[in-house]
Structure 1
Amino acid sequence: MSMDHDTIVEEFEWDIPESYTVTSTIDDHAEAFGNRVAVRFLDEDDRREERTYADLRDDMNRFAKGLEELGVERGDRVMHLFPRHPDAFAIQLGALTAGALLVPCSSMLRAKDIEFRANDCNATTIVVHESLTDMVEPIVDETPLERIIVLDGDDVDDEQWSTFQSVADGQSTEYDGPELGAEDPMSINYTSGTTGQPKPVLHKHRWMYCFNRVNAPYWWGVDEDTDLEDELLWATTGTGWAKWFWSPVGVGLTTGATQLIYDGEFEPETFLEILEDEGVTKLCAVPTQYRMFANADLERYDVQLNDTLSAGEPLNREPIERIQDAWGVTPRDGYGQTETVALVTNYPGIDVKPGSMGKPTPGVGATIIEMNEEEEVEPGEIGEIAVPVDSPAIFDGYYEKPELDEQKLSGDYYRTGDLASRDEDGYFFFEGRADDIIISSGYRIGPFEVEDALVSHDAVAEAAAVDSPHEERGSIVKAYIVLAEGYEAGDDLKDELQEFMKNETAPYKYPRRIEFVEELPKTSSGKIRRIELREQEQEKHS
Structure 2
Amino acid sequence: MQIDYQRERAEFEWDIPEDYNLPAVIESHAEQFGHRLAIKFRDDEGGEEQRTYADLRDDMNRFANALESLGVGEGDRVMHLLPRHPDVFAIQLGALKRGAILVPCSAMLKPKDLQFRANDCEATTIVCHDELTEMVEPILDETPLDTMVVLDGSRTGSWESFAALVDGESTEHDGPDIGAQSPMSINYTSGTTGQPKPVLHRHRWMHCFERVNGRYWWGVEQGTDFEDELLWATTGTGWAKWFWSPVGVALTTGASQLIYRGDFDPKTFLSLMEEEGVTRLCAVPTQYRMFTQEDDMADYDLSLTEVVSAGEPLNREPIQAFDEAFGVTPRDGYGQTETVALVTNYPGIDVKPGSMGKPTPGLGTTIIDTVDDEEVEPGEIGEIAVPVDSPAIFDGYFEKPNLDEKTFSGAYYRTGDLASEDKDGYFFFEGRADDIIISSGYRIGPFEVEDALIGHSAVAEAAAVGSPHTERGNVVKAYVILADGYEGSDELVEELQEYMKEETAPYKYPRRIEFVDELPKTSSGKIRRIELRDKEQAKFG
Same fold at TM > 0.5: yes
Q: Secondary structure at the match of 1:228?
A: coil
Q: Supply the distance in 2 between the matched residues of 1:208 and 1:353 (Cα, whole angstroms).
A: 29
Distance 1:119 1:442 in 2: 44
CA RMSD of aligned residues (A): 0.7
CA distance in 1, matches of 2:153, 2:258: 24
Q: Deviations over 1:280-329 (max 9, x none)?
A: 00000000000010111122100000000000000000010001000000
Identical counterparts, % of pairs: 73
Does the Cα contact within 8 Å between 2:421 and 2:428 map onto a contact in 1? yes
**Which of the residues 239, 242, 250 maps onto 2:240?**
242
Q: Deviations over 1:438-473 (max 9, x none)?
A: 000100000000000000000000000000000011
Residue type at the aligned position of 2:459: V
- Structure 2: stretches of 5+ with no match in the other structure: none
The match for 2:257 is 259
Matched, 1:204 2:235: no
State the alpha-carbon separation in 2 of the partners of residues 356 and 225 from structure 1.
30
Letter in 2 for 1:247: S
Alignment match, 2:123:
123
- Per-residue displacement from partner, 1:353-382 (whole Å, max 9, x unpaired)? 000000000111110000001000000000
The residue number in structure 2 matching 1:84 is: 84
AA in 2 matched with 1:384: E
Q: CA deviation at 1:225?
A: 5.4
Q: For residues 524 and 192 of structure 1, what CA distance do their matches in structure 2 show? A: 7
- Where in structure 2 are the equivalents of 1:16-415 lying within 5 Å? 16-156=16-156, 158=157, 160-224=158-222, 226-296=224-294, 297-415=296-414
Once residues 528 and 299 of structure 1 are traced to their aligned partners in structure 2, the CA distance between those partners, rounded to angstroms, is 30
Following superposition, the deviation at residue 195 of structure 1 comes to 1.2
Q: AA paired with 1:150?
A: V
Contact 2:61 2:171 in 1 (8 A): yes
Give yes or no for contact 2:72–2:100 (8 Å, CA) kept in 1: yes
Distance 1:163 1:254 in 2: 29
- The amino acid of 1:55's aligned partner reads D
Amino acid at match of 1:78: V
- For the residue of structure 1 that corresponds to 2:148, the secondary structure is strand
The residue type equivalent to 1:167 in the other structure is L
Matched, 1:532 2:531: yes
Q: Deviations over 1:34-91 (max 9, x none)?
A: 0111000000001000000000000000100110110111000000001000000000
Measured in 2, the distance between the counterparts of 1:412 and 1:299 equals 48
Q: Which amino acid aligns with 2:481?
A: V
Amino acid at match of 2:213: N
1:400-479 matched pairs, under 5 angstroms: 400-479=399-478
Q: Distance in 2 between matches of 1:4 and 1:258?
A: 26
Displacement of 1:155 after TM fit? 2.6
Give the Cα–Cα distance (whole angstroms) in 1 for the partners of residues 106 and 222 of structure 2: 33
Tell me the distance in 1 between the aligned counterparts of 2:30 and 2:222. 18
Aligned mates of 1:525, 1:229 — CA distance in 2: 33
CA distance in 2, matches of 1:119, 1:301: 48
What letter matches 1:356 in structure 2? S
Cα pair 2:222 2:254 within 8 Å, conserved: no
Structure 1: which 4+ aligned runs deviate by more than 2 Å? 223-226
Mapped partners of 2:116, 2:475: distance in 1: 38
Q: What number of residue pairs does the alignment pair up?
A: 540
- The 3-state SS of whatever aligns with 2:396 is coil
Residue by residue over 1:491-514, the C-alpha shift from the partner in whole angstroms, topping out at 9 and shown as x without a partner, is 100000000000100000000111
Q: Match of 2:462, SS?
A: strand
Q: Report if aligned partners of 2:229, 2:280 keep a CA contact under 8 Å in 1.
A: yes
Q: Which amino acid in the other structure matches residue 535 of structure 1?
A: D
Q: Distance in 1 between matches of 2:477 and 2:432?
A: 16
Shift of 1:4: 2.2
CA deviation digits over 1:180-203, x for unaligned, max 9? Answer: 000000000000111111000000
Structure 2 CA distance for aligned equivalents of residues 51 and 390 of structure 1: 38
Name the SS for the 1:288 alignment partner: helix
Q: Distance in 1 between matches of 2:98 and 2:338?
A: 24
SS in 1 for 2:55: helix
Instruction: Report the alpha carbon displacement of residue 168 of structure 1 after superposing the two structures with TM.
Output: 1.2
Change (3 A) 1:126 1:225: closer
- Residues 214-237 of structure 1, C-alpha deviation per residue, up to 9 Å, x if partnerless? 000100000355211111000000
Q: State how far apart, in whole Å, the 1-side matches of 2:182 and 2:33 are.
A: 27
State how far apart, in whole Å, the 2-side matches of 1:531 and 1:38 are: 41
Deviation of 1:409 (Å): 1.1
Most deviating of 161-170 and 239-248 = 161-170
* Distance in 2 of aligned mates of 1:332 and 1:413: 27
Between the aligned partners of 1:76 and 1:361, the Cα distance in structure 2 is: 34
Output the CA distance in 1 between the equivalents of 2:334 and 2:262. Answer: 26
**What CA deviation, in whole Å up to 9, does each residue of 1:231-270 have, x standing for no partner?**
1000000000000000000000000000000000000000
Of 198-207 and 291-300, deviating more is 291-300
Q: Which residue of structure 2 aligns with residue 510 of structure 1?
A: 509
5+ residue gaps, structure 1: none
CA deviation string 1:503-531 (max 9, x = no partner): 10000000011111011111110000000
CA–CA distance in structure 1, aligned partners of residues 223 and 348 of structure 2: 15
CA–CA distance in structure 2, aligned partners of residues 345 and 169 of structure 1 = 44
- 3-state SS of 2:397 partner: coil
| 429-438 or 160-169: bigger deviation | 160-169
Whether the aligned pair in 1 keeps the contact of 2:29 and 2:53 (CA below 8 Å) is yes
